[in-house]
Structure 1
Amino acid sequence: MSGGAQGKAAQTEAGTKKRGKLPLIAAVLVLLLAGGGAGAWYAGLLPGFGGNHDTHEAADAVAKAAAKPPVFIEIPDIIANLNSTARRQTFIKVRARLEVADEAQGKIVQAAMPRLLDLFGGYLRETRPEELRGSAGTQRLREEIVTRANLAVAPARISDVLFVELVMQ
């Protein structure tokens, strides 16, 4: 074989290798674009596809709800002894406010205040001092109070508890 024939054979072989990779690269690109498009649709970033009308209505409802400020209900001071195995008793003093959506729910919460005070006091008497230490303990206390309060004021809904004073002695 001559040098020219070997060069053409080498070029043909190299061209075949490049053409063999081209469909693979194209397929990977198509899959990446399809995956990105599906993710954007699922996340709701493509407004024209999939009928996102529900999310727009929900966003409008949230905007209307945010327009009126929440109502804060003052809880009288709660002083309770904690569940302690030490010789000396540990006491806690809690002063807090409950956050509700509107005045109507605020009236329901005010009417249920004796029940709320009983629930909170009972929960605090069963709590150990080490459970309330640190920010994680305060967060747990907040979650428990919200959960118990929502059970006590069933038609109304308490969205948060704001601690004004939390003293352990």
Structure 2
Amino acid sequence: MTDAAELEVPPPPKKTKLPLILGFVLLLAGAGGGFTLVKIGIIGGKTIEAAGDSTETSDIPPESEDVAFVPLDPMVITLSSGSDRQLLRFTAQLDVNPAAVEEIEKIKPRIIDILNGYLRALEVEDIEAPAALIKIRSQMLHRVRIVAGENRVNDLLVMEFVLN
């Protein structure tokens, strides 16, 4: 008889959903309150009206600054991957300091040579990667700055980059 009394275990109490509901209500109240505080400008800095009147400087140079571009000759590079041969058409311009335009024009053959050597070393898989143009562009800009001088070339602008 004592064995039968030990086997009868009372059923577990039914779980309440009150903490879940309370947590959800507090979540909604916090989100609504945070949105309201940001919207009226108490926290989060500027309001939408003040953001339009901002006088902060941006990374983009103003149009009033002198900017000079030196176009590079178009290049056609043969890329081989296995038995397939593909052509890469590449055209670019250099964003240079206006005082350095003549010096860059004089060394333009060296710049084209260094870019041609780099592009020929690439494989088709390197070019077809999703972020390939960003990586290739930064590598080419680094090489151009080595040849031309660090303070002469600001940027390399890729005008055409087509793989046929």
Could you say which residue in structure 2 is the equivalent of 1:152? 147
SS at 2:109 equivalent: helix
Code of the residue aligned with 2:123 in structure 1: it is R
Aligned residues: 106
1:114 match: 109
Alignment of 1:55-134 (within 5 A): 67-82=64-79, 84-102=80-98, 104-134=99-129
Percentage of matched positions with identical amino acids: 22
Structure with the bigger percentage of helix: 1
1:156 is displaced (CA, Å) by 4.5
Structure 1, unmatched stretches of 5+, are 1-61
> Does structure 2 conserve the Cα–Cα contact (< 8 Å) formed by 1:73 and 1:99?
yes
- Moved beyond 3 Å, runs of 4+: none
TM-score by length of 2: 0.58
Is the partner of 2:84 in helix, strand or coil? coil
Alpha-carbon RMSD across the aligned residues, in angstroms, is 2.3
Which amino acid in structure 1 is aligned with residue 74 of structure 2?
A: D
Task: Name the CA distance, whole Å, in 1 between partners of 2:91 and 2:144.
Answer: 15
Q: 1:74 to 1:135 in 2, by over 3 A?
A: farther
Q: Secondary structure at the match of 1:69?
A: coil
TM-score w.r.t. length of structure 1: 0.56
